[in-house]
Amino acid sequence: DTEVTQTPKHLVMGMTNKKSLKCEQHMGHRAMYWYKQKAKKPPELMFVYSYEKLSINESVPSRFSPECPNSSLLNLHLHALQPEDSALYLCASSPRTWGEKLFFGSGTQLSVL
């Protein structure tokens, strides 16, 4: 299994909603990531988990809250988002550390109304 699975594929939410994005990999990778990507821009790093511990938080607003329940799962909890948070949210994993090849999930296209 060489896939990173993300759900849901599409999400529309209001600014007062709470929702979660989910990511799962079964490649035994020990580093997992959340990236945000706006149209025609490169992926922008949000969070890095290394061996289930949050190692990097790129000054992301607190309305985004990551969680790594175990080595295969990564969640991103969303609360009180703004319309400018609308983007493609990508989960990725790598074998051990950041700087290795990344395997991306198919992404969640998020629209905030």
Partner 1 sequence: QKEVEQNSGPLSVPEGAIASLNCTYSDRGSQSFFWYRQYSGKSPELIMFIYSNGDKEDGRFTAQLNKASQYVSLLIRDSQPSDSATYLCAVGVNNNDMRFGAGTRLTVKP
Q: Give dist(CA 41, CA 20) in Å, integer.
A: 24
99 binds partner 1 (CB under 8 A): yes
Q: How far is the CB of 80 from partner 1 (least distance, A)?
A: 26
> Which of 20, 90, 21, 96 has the alpha carbon at shortest distance from 52?
96
Q: Give dist(CA 25, CA 71) in Å, integer.
A: 8
Tokens for 79? 């609360």
Contact with partner 1 (CB under 8 A): which of 88, 93, 110, 111?
Answer: 88
DSSP code of residue 3: -
Other CB atoms within 10 Å distance of the CB of residue 101: 8
101 binds partner 1 (CB under 8 A): yes
83 binds partner 1 (CB under 8 A): no
Q: How far is the CB of 8 from partner 1 (least distance, A)?
A: 14
Contact with partner 1 (CB under 8 A): which of 23, 78, 107, 110?
Answer: 107
Q: Indicate the residue among 60 and 80 with the shorter CB distance to partner 1.
A: 60
- Which residues make up the interface to partner 1 (CB under 8 A)? 40-43, 45, 88, 90, 97-107, 109
